[in-house]
Amino acid sequence: MEMITTLILLYLLIIIIGSLWASKKTGIADVLFYLIGGLAAVNLHLLSPASAAIEIFAFIGTIFLFFYLGLEENLKSFTEGIKKGWKIAVAGVILPFTALYFTELYLSNDTIKSIVFAMAFTPTSIGIAFLTLNTLNFSAKNRLQPIIVAAALTDDVISLILWGVLGGILVSLGASSAEISLQSITSLTLKPVSNFLFFSLAMALIAYLFFLFHPTTSLKKESTLLTIFAKTKASIYSHAGAGKFLGKQEQNVAIIIMIFLAFLGSFIAEFFETSIALGAYFMGLIINKDHFASEHTNTDEVFHSTMEKLRFLTLYFFAPIFFISIGLHMKIESFNALGTIMTQALILASVVFIAQFIAASFTARYINTLPWRSSILIGIAMQGRAEVTFLVAMAALSMHLITSADLLLISVSAFILNLSVPFLLKIAAHHHEKHDQAEVI
């Protein structure tokens, strides 16, 4: 058993090293080569998506990736991103869902399968866009990245809530010929929505009590309850707040505590039956360099050094394994059916790409009034399909709503979309930078 696990880790490390080398030689984002590495490994029978070791590392990779993504942001930029990105997210849910539903219904004439496919391709991958943007340097990145991340995150939240509702309805439809009443739909809707609200409340409470130490003065004056709560919070923060267990620790201990917080956020999300990725992201979002303040240390130096170590663990080990695991879901069972699958996958990927691009770029241009070059870049960055797409697809498979052949079709279609992001985003970023420099001159 130990030898098999060691061999699996060696294969994973070979793919990571090879992907980093290929990325450096070609200038293409390494995430593309992680996906290709997983695809090659599963079809050469070197690795299996059913491997417990890979599942655990991919699970940890999801938490590390989204926690680091949250650390890269701050509440102010995230709030601004939400204000600009929620419209892009809503459009990015409605148009791709509608387009893919009717496309798959035409191809398969299966209503339940069509809804599952549409639901699987509604959420956008934050990880694909983030890792690709991480390899690019252009002046507008700091301004556009919060919008892209916020839009993708909002997209995922809406998709998770919708899947919580539709998944139950589809199982009921598959198990019975009886009509679904308005009352049953309402009861199915209530659970995922209330779970997300309770999760948000729990994270907000943790953020306020342990991390956010600047309550609004006007609110405290207007409410006795808030005044008492603020005093309680001040007491908790002074004895067990972020400054106490981050700023006054050795750097290595601070890193361990941050990793603990990432898993705590994921546990809270899982407890409320919400995506672990959201829990890790929000926990990272509420931590900032102010929490590393200490009389005897340089705050910026400690924070950035800590971030650099987490960055290495995330971007060069755990996150790559997560993306390799996505490639492992593309096992080709029959080469005779490969042509049909590829044809259908190209059709589905093209429909999603066009619908998502129109939804994101046109919303960014005509509602958020961003320039066309920024709107086009956002439209490309929102094409990735990974984390929540496979969560929905695997859940649908376990519910017997789709077959393993359908899972392969979803995987290949998502793979094609993911391939497009590194190539097109690099071109869009270069075009954006070229026009920005021309305007300065």
> Is residue 219 pLDDT above 50, yes or no?
no
Tally DSSP H helices, then E strands, for the chain: 19, 0
Q: Tokens 């339940």 — which residue? A: 112
Alpha carbons 402 and 69: distance in angstroms, whole number: 32
Of 283 and 82, the one with more pLDDT:
283
Choice among 89-93, 295-299, 326-330 with the minimum mean pLDDT: 295-299
User: Which of 275, 247, 272, 245 has its CA nearest to residue 260?
Assistant: 245
User: What one-character DSSP code corresponds to residue 73?
Assistant: S
Choice among 29-38, 107-116, 228-237 with the minimum mean pLDDT: 228-237
Q: Which two tokens stand for residue 23?
A: 């990325």
> Is residue 242 pLDDT above 70, yes or no?
no
Choice among 119-123, 149-153, 168-172, 424-428 with the minimum mean pLDDT: 168-172
pLDDT interval class at 178 (50, 70, 90): very low
> Is residue 296 pLDDT above 60, yes or no?
no
Of 198 and 177, the one with more pLDDT:
198
Task: Give SS3 for 199.
Answer: helix
Residue 173: its pLDDT value, please?
60
Of 214 and 323, the one with more pLDDT:
323
Residue 226: its pLDDT value, please?
55
Choice among 53-62, 203-212, 267-276 with the minimum mean pLDDT: 203-212
User: Which of 329, 305, 291, 353 has its CA nearest to residue 405?
Assistant: 329
pLDDT per position as a tens digit, 349-374: 999 999 999 999 999 888 888 889 88
Choice among 95-109, 145-159, 207-221, 393-407 with the minimum mean pLDDT: 207-221
Mean pLDDT of 109-114: 86
User: Which of 378, 409, 382 has its CA nearest to residue 393?
Assistant: 409
The reply to whether CATH 1.20.1530.20 applies to domain 2-212+249-440 is: yes
Q: Which CA distances in Å does 421 have to 107, 127, 140, 169?
A: 26, 11, 18, 33
Q: Which CA distances in Å does 301 have to 92, 260, 305, 316?
A: 39, 21, 6, 22
Q: Tokens 């026009």 — which residue? A: 435
What residue ranges do the domains of the chain occupy?
2-212+249-440, 213-240
The answer to whether the CB of 382 falls within 8 A of the CB of 130 is no
For the chain, what is the mean pLDDT?
A: 79
